[in-house]
Amino acid sequence: MFKNVIVRVPSSSISEGLTSANEGKPIYSKALMQHENYVSALTKTGVNVTVLEPQDDFPDSCFVEDVALCTSKCAIVTRPGALSRRKEAALPDMIAALEKFYENIEYIKDPGTVEAGDIMMVGDHFYIGLSARTNEEGAKQMIEILEKYGLSGQMVEMKEMLHLKTGLAYLENNNLLVAGEFKQAPEFEKFNKIEIDMEEAYGANCIWINDYVIVPEGYPVVQKKIEELGYKVLVVDTSEFRKIDGGLSCLSLRF
């Protein structure tokens, strides 16, 4: 069960965020409204939400998931692979928020790079995707830290997706949404795989919180498959964040 969530309000510079989506620039007022609806959905799941102030110097800073991994034993501050995001991980208000909840805070060090959008938690085990943003050195450091606290991790080779969780979402109870290159990945054979077609692949980025699953708006096939598994579904529009390669999981730290 998750008790706490950390989010950051989108900044007015959000239109300058990194993107490969070719869907135009996000509209700030719409992004703010969508973010408010996202926070509202989070509160319905019973968590306490810590809301950090916008950071105009960092257009992608609303995507807080990438800058820290929050586990049951420790928080691990990452070192983002995207140069424009590297200083986000050390922002004082984020460190202060983590310190409020964690006695043990660890840090990924140069030359390692990790963005936690590449990390999927399954119980006490963590799958770490090797992507353009997360390198092998960063993944090794992450696994060493996890093992120090009695947790475990393994690397997953990737070729196509931006982040591991671009095409995967673990919904607890052994249920795993899979899209694209991960459908055949041997690492995920033991799961009950719910396969998502590429045209709805963005919809595979859902988040499980306390028996609810938050699903992006506009992906009815994904929504139906999740409802058929018996979960309570909350639907949130994240279309403005999609324009800068962001999805539901990117927008929060959940622990």
Q: Which helix (H) or strand (E) holds 242?
A: helix 239-242
Q: Which residue out of 62, 70, 206, 250 is catalytically annotated?
A: 250
250 belongs to the catalytic site: yes
**146: nearest Cα among 126, 169, 123:** 126
Cis bond upstream, residue 80 (ω within 30)? no
163 belongs to the catalytic site: yes
Q: Quote the distance between the C-alpha of residue 192 and its chain's center.
A: 21
The span from the CA of 84 to the CA of 88, in Å, is 8
DSSP-assigned beta bridge partners for residue 122: 125
Q: Quote the distance between the C-alpha of residue 135 and its chain's center.
A: 17
Q: Quote the distance between the C-alpha of residue 81 and its chain's center.
A: 15
- 191: exposed, middle or buried (C-beta count within 10 Å: 0-12, 13-18, 19+)? middle
Q: Enter the DSSP assignment of 162.
A: S
**35: nearest Cα among 216, 236, 197, 253:** 236
Phi and psi at residue 117, to the nearest 5°: -65, -15
Q: Give Dmax over CA atoms of the chain in angstroms.
A: 45
Instruction: List residues with catalytic annotation.
Output: 163, 250
